[in-house]
Amino acid sequence: MKFEKDILCVGAGYVGGPTMAMIAYKCPQYKVTVVDINPTRIAQWNSPNLPIYEPGLQEVVEAARGRNLFFSTDIEKGIEEAGIIFVCVNTPTKTFGEGAGLASDLQYLEKTARQIIQSANSPKIIIEKSTLPVRTAQAMERILASNPKGIHFDVLSNPEFLAEGDAIKDLENPDRVLIGSRETANGIKAREELIEIYANWVPREHIISSNIWSSELAKLVANAFLAQRISSINSISALCEASEADVSEVARAVGMDSRVGPKFLNSSVGFGGSCFQKDILNLVYICRHYGLNEVADYWQRVVDINNYQKGRFVMNMLKAMFNTLAGKRICLLGFAFKADTGDTRESPALFITKKLLDERVNLVITDPAALENAKFDLQGTEGQIDFVADPYEAIAGCEAVAVITEWGIYKELDFERIFSSMTKPAFIFDGRNILDHHRLFKMGFNVFPIGKPALTHF
Ligand code: UDX
Ligand code: ADP
């Protein structure tokens, strides 16, 4: 069959995989190939066990795979054949050199640009989808323009706004699709071609365009604003605990102001995920680069409060359990950074685990989808942690349970059964405020929510 367009995606991760699956699913007239340097990942995408857990993803992949969606390690061939190339490689925070701990590590992106130069024999549209610092497109353009074959490349910015766990819903009905381009004739033509792809299923009024720098910056700012809301409500949770106000009641009253809105006001053990902290630190780095130190300090505080919140959670456990956790068996209920994903990147669970191990806790970790990632992340702690899939088994014999991830199944657990299996006095630290605290208290638990008065029997 002859396809109308040949689309390639470099990077088969959390962004590239689901996004390309959706394009292929919605547009059977296009051929979509996803390539990755990691052969295990590609083998998983070609198997019944996909490398990432995402509700609804399996169905979308299975509908399109082999029809017009292909996963491969042949990057050269992919580049040669495609007219449109999405770049979805990872851009983690730098751990070395200038900007370490703040700036993005762009080595994978640059390597991709060089691979494109090497294998391309015809003009192409290159689309940045990885989260990037502002003006990366310019660096990309410069590398691509240096090709000795004189091939023309158009670089577009098309940031991804999907949230894990809701990726399929977000891809199917996005609030907006943002496309940044140069205002040149070629840039506008390239933009129109990308608009045409999304217009197969996204209403035109949801597809917006901007200049390329605004598009790159909008992604960082969108995440910074979302994270800021969480740090704002989390800072108030500390005040609520001190003053005996209830953070959920405060959030409800504040969120009913239509100018504020009710979403993203759930106080928690802290935000995690691959984007929020990385993007804010990027913003901080850029602001410092331009000498905007006040602006940099302002956004840095959003990350600081998040670290404070994670630390406060462990301190509250320590204080509540008579100032010593050594030798106590404690279960972390959930390890993923949020519900409905197996992703553990920057999960507050990582910080909490390290702190609890410092206190010599005898730790048990359970999670319905993230246990393998947790084991990988916690290599080097062998013998100090038990990983148990079944939550009842995990909690049995523990003195405390800490809810870290807001998995729906945890709300449905039989807590009478759990209480009877625990060592007394039994503690629950609800880092997500998802449980019925008064009911648990009546059963005999000592309950410590976030931003609400504790309910204790002593
Ligand atoms: C985020 C953005 O939402 C998305 O648009 C962007 O493309 C990528 O970054 P993601 O990190 O997948 O998505 O998840 P999100 O739902 O935003 O949650 C991030 C963190 O904030 C999680 O740890 C979550 O548990 C926490 N959170 C969220 C809260 O603590 N309280 C809230 O009210 C909402
Ligand atoms: P994200 O959340 O941004 O999608 P991931 O780490 O999940 O990040 O995915 C990025 C993917 O990009 C990884 O599977 C990685 O192997 C792949 N990758 C990185 N560099 C290259 C490259 N030069 N060519 C092909 N794939 C790459």
Over residues 44-91, the pLDDT tens digits come to: 999 999 999 899 999 999 999 999 999 999 999 999 999 999 999 988
Instruction: Indicate whether residue 161 lines ligand 1 (CB < 6 A).
Output: yes
CATH number attached to the domain at 305-449:
3.40.50.720
- Active-site residue set: 275
Atom of ligand 2 nearest to the CA of 112: 23
Rounded Cα gap, residues 164 and 423, in angstroms: 36
* Residue owning the nearest CA to atom 7 of ligand 2: 13
Ligand 2 site, residue 201, Cβ cutoff 6 A:
no
Task: Select 5-202's CATH number: 3.40.50.720, 3.40.1360.10, 3.30.300.30, 3.30.1360.120.
Answer: 3.40.50.720
pLDDT score, position 272: 98
Q: What is the pLDDT of residue 159?
A: 94
Domains 5-202 and 305-449 share a fold: yes
- pLDDT tens-digit map of 196-223: 999 999 999 999 999 999 999 999 999 9
State in Å: Cα 271 to ligand 1 middle.
Answer: 7
Is the minimum distance from the CB of 52 to ligand 1 under 6 angstroms? Answer: no
Closest C-alpha residue for ligand 1 atom 11 = 273
Supply the residue whose CA is at minimum distance from atom 5 of ligand 1: 161
Q: Are the C-beta atoms of 303 and 262 separated by less than 8 Å?
A: no
Residue ranges for the chain with pLDDT beneath 70: none
- What secondary structure does DSSP assign to 53-107, as a single string? --TTHHHHHHHHBTTTEEEES-HHHHHHH-SEEEE----PBP-SSTTTTTSB--H
Answer yes or no: are the C-beta atoms of 104 and 91 closer than 8 Å. Answer: yes
* Ligand 1 binding pocket mutation candidate from 235, 248, 338, 345 (most atoms within 8 A of CB): 338
Q: Where are the domains of the chain?
A: 5-202, 305-449
432 vs 332: CA distance, rounded Å:
12
Residue entry with tokens 């509540």: 320
| In the block, residue with structure tokens 């969480």 | 230
pLDDT value of position 133: 72
CA 299 – ligand 1 centroid, Å: 17
Ligand 2 centroid from CA 36, angstroms: 7
Residue closest via CA to ligand 1's atom 2 equals 163
Distance 367 CA to ligand 2 centre (A): 25
Tell me the CA distances in angstroms from 120 to 147, 212, 321, 328, 341, one per residue in order: 9, 23, 62, 60, 36
Q: Is the CB of 265 under 6 A from ligand 2?
A: no
